[in-house]
A = this chain, B = another copy of it.
Amino acid sequence: MDKTLGDLHPRAAAEVPPRSSAKDVARLAGVSTATVSRALNLPQQVDPETLERVRHAIDKLRYVPHGAARALRSRRSQMVGAVVPSVDYALYARTTSALQAVLDAAGYAMVLAEHHYDVAQEVRVTEQLVRHGVDAFVFVGIYHDPALFTLLASHGKPYVLTWGVDPMHRHPAVGFDNRAATYAMTQYLIGLGHRHFGLLSAPVVDNDRATERGAGMRAALAQAGLALDEADARYGPIDLRAAANLMHEILARRPRPTAVVGTNDIFAVGGMLACREAGVRIPEDLSITGVDNTDLGATQTPPLTSIRTPVVEVGRAAGEEVIARLEGRPGEPSRTLPFEIVIRGSTAPPPR
């Protein structure tokens, strides 16, 4: 029917009945707007009978409080900004999801922004979120542009850093020790007999996770009297194909490393791809390891040795910490969560 079809097109905002306000609810319930506000925010202070009348009016009018007005008056928007490099990396998505669940349960909305590993962009999007009125922030990583902290301080916004530990304890942080993770992994590889290592990493500039993970590997090597030849290290974007291409360069080295550490599972699996293409057998010819213990790594043939990092717990704990600060409770200055090596089929003693 034409009439029906005509009705389907999105209507201009002007044609929509104006949304009802606290005043409308007050009128219908025969109370003042102050009582409506109290019914919503401090129901225990309202006479049960009045409360009932107000609630009925709210339902009838489909009243939903105007968040901006509330935020303006109460100086709290009940929104938290989550600023992450990219949710394309599955593990940041998991942390973000856990954070979202905690915030939602406490009545906070989560505003998400990405900066694609660009510290300047990170400051920019954070200022956008300040502009939009978010009350507090969660960031990924420990290192950030000093301008970011200036911005946060000048607006008095609480924040929590995640996915790392702040050695100086200058900022509240919830995370794990990235350096210790690759340190442990490298020690394990050394224990298997490996002496010649390669590294597949994200660019370390402005990226403390990558920096620390590389440092952990180098520290373990140094402790065993070994060293990483920079010619055996490759840096590139977190992308399977890019990682595979870098791995081909490592495979071309002579002598060739017998163990390659990826700073996360994407690099490691990209490396495995290159090995398949080049006919290099894992783990007989070459051992390879990742970090973050993704499904991607665990389902490879052979399955990838990796490190289970507590990404979900980080998101959850970050949510708790940021809410604590928002509600005036002190919160932990920092929380360091445990990781765990998961040994699978991609590692073995070196050939010969």
Contacts and interface: CB of A to CB of B under 8 A. Distances in A.
Copies in the complex: 2
A93 B88 contact: yes
Contacts of A66: 72, 133
A205 to B, nearest CB: 22
Given A112-B100, A296-B295, A333-B9, A64 B273 contact: no
A69 B72 contact: yes
Interface stretch (A149-157, A175-183, A209-217, A284-292): A149-157
29 contacts: A8-B169, A10-B172, A10-B325, A12-B328, A62-B151, A62-B154, A66-B72, A68-B68, A68-B77, A69-B72, A71-B133, A72-B72, A78-B132, A79-B111, A82-B112, A86-B97, A87-B97, A87-B100, A88-B93, A88-B94, A100-B112, A104-B113, A104-B114, A109-B113, A110-B112, A110-B113, A240-B295, A272-B299, A295-B296
Contacts of A11: 156
A130 interface: yes
Interface string A6-41: 001111110011010000000000000000000000
Contacts of A247: none
Interface stretch (A43-51, A121-129, A229-237, A253-261): A121-129
A225 B156 CA distance: 68
A263 interface: no
Contacts of A104: 113-114, 125, 128
Given A90-B93, A111-B112, A240-B295, A131 B19 contact: no
Interface string A298-333: 011100000000000000000000000100101101
Contacts of A131: 64-65, 67
A57 to B, nearest CB: 15
A96 interface: yes
Nearest to A133: B67
